[in-house]
Amino acid sequence: MPSYEELGELLDPASTVLLTVECQQGVVGPDSALPELAREARSSGALRNVARLVAAAHETGVQVIHALAERRPDGRGANRNARLFRAAERLPVQQLTGTTAVRVAPPIEVTEEDFVVRRLHGLSPIQGTEVDALLRNLGCRTLIVTGVSANVAVPNAVFDAVNRGYTAVVPADAIAGVPADYTPAVIRNTLALVATITSTDEVLGYFKRPRRRA
From first to last of the 214 residues of the chain, give the pLDDT tens digit. 676 677 878 999 999 999 999 999 999 999 999 999 999 999 999 999 999 999 999 999 999 999 999 999 888 888 788 888 787 788 788 888 999 999 999 999 999 999 999 999 999 999 999 999 999 999 999 999 999 999 999 999 999 999 999 999 999 999 999 999 999 999 999 999 999 999 999 999 988 875 554 4
Check: CB of residue 187 under 8 Å from CB of residue 45. Answer: no
Rounded Cα distance between 177 and 192, Å, is 16
pLDDT value at residue 211: 58
pLDDT value at residue 213: 45
Q: Which residues contact 210 (CB under 8 A, 6 or more apart)?
A: none
pLDDT value at residue 81: 81
Check: CB of residue 212 under 8 Å from CB of residue 14. Answer: no
Rounded Cα distance between 80 and 19, Å, is 26
Return the SS3 of 173.
helix
pLDDT value at residue 214: 43
Rounded Cα distance between 4 and 119, Å, is 35
Rounded Cα distance between 198 and 73, Å, is 39
